[in-house]
């Protein structure tokens, strides 16, 4: 299990599916709000908003919920003003962790994140203290059924992507963060809506964890993921399948 997968292989460890769905929707609505305020409230003319709406659609958020969020964001007395904040630190075993948040109270969020690190064997660092261990990449994922390997590679190269990894599980196209929107749009025009499209932090190297360190790190990541202000968490760890099986048992 690699850190850049964002823990989807261990999400079954957490109960309360409805609560997780509610948190996911709340995060998506925050992103829609910030995106709508950063440009025009029309997804066709606002690439960030289009990406946020696409993510909401992929999460099965009702269309009327998305529309209400956009209208509320740009309406009179639009409500909370969210700031984008990034936190960086080291978890157990020296695992590098990046947290992206949208918050209406920087002091509260910083205190919560700092407390999570302190209680679970880590330490919050300064901005850019660990980001040099990651690359900022645009990532577009399609199911294997949309195209064969050669067709996807050709389309990705024409779109300006840097790399394509294809296999039975699908196609993963990566590009520079600055090229994300045009690459995504070119691929969408050819193959339709992707399964996932986002800009993420991809670790250059990973730290392999034993059972004890993995358990400590996963507790930290769970706490961070459960914070309402946190949008995304990335970490440069790898957990062997045998260790993951013990932790999930």
Chunked mean pLDDT (size 10), the chain, 249 residues: 47 56 89 91 91 91 93 73 94 95 95 96 93 96 96 97 95 96 95 93 94 93 93 94 85
Residue 48 confidence (pLDDT): 92
Sequence-distant (≥ 6) Cβ neighbours of residue 114 within 8 angstroms: 124
Residue 203 makes CB contacts below 8 A (sequence gap 6+) with 2, 3, 4, 96, 133, 134, 234, 235, 236
**How much is the pTM?**
0.84
Q: What is the pLDDT of residue 247?
A: 85
Three-state DSSP state, 197: strand
**What sign results for the dihedral spanned by CA atoms 97, 103, 106, 112?**
negative
pLDDT of the residue at 19? 72
What is 3-74's CATH superfamily? Integrase, N-terminal zinc-binding domain (1.10.10.200)
| pLDDT at site 75 | 78
DSSP 158: H
CATH 1.10.10.200 residue spans of the chain: 3-74
């Amino acid at each position: 299990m690699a850190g850049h997968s964002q823990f989807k292989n261990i999400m079954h460890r957490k109960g309360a599916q409805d609560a997780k769905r509610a948190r996911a929707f709340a995060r998506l609505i925050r992103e829609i709000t910030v995106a709508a305020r950063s440009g025009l409230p029309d997804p066709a003319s606002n690439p960030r908003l289009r990406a946020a709406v696409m993510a909401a659609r992929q999460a099965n958020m009702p269309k009327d919920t998305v529309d209400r969020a956009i209208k509320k964001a740009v309406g009179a007395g639009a409500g909370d003003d969210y700031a984008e904040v990034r936190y960086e630190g080291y978890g157990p075993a020296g695992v590098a962790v990046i947290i992206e948040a949208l918050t209406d109270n920087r002091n509260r969020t910083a205190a919560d994140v700092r407390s999570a690190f302190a209680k679970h064997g880590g330490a919050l660092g300064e901005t850019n203290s660990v980001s040099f261990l990651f690359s900022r990449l645009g990532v577009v994922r399609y199911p294997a059924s949309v195209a064969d390997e050669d067709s996807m590679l050709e389309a990705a190269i024409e779109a300006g992507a840097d790399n394509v990894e294809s296999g039975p599980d699908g196609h993963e196209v990566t590009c520079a963060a600055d090229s994300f929107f045009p690459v995504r749009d070119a691929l969408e025009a050819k193959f339709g809506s992707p399964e996932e499209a986002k800009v993420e932090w991809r670790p250059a190297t990973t730290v392999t964890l034993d059972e004890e360190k993995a358990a400590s790190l996963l507790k930290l990541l769970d706490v961070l993921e459960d914070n309402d202000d946190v949008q995304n968490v990335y970490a440069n760890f790898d957990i062997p399948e045998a260790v993951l099986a013990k932790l999930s048992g």
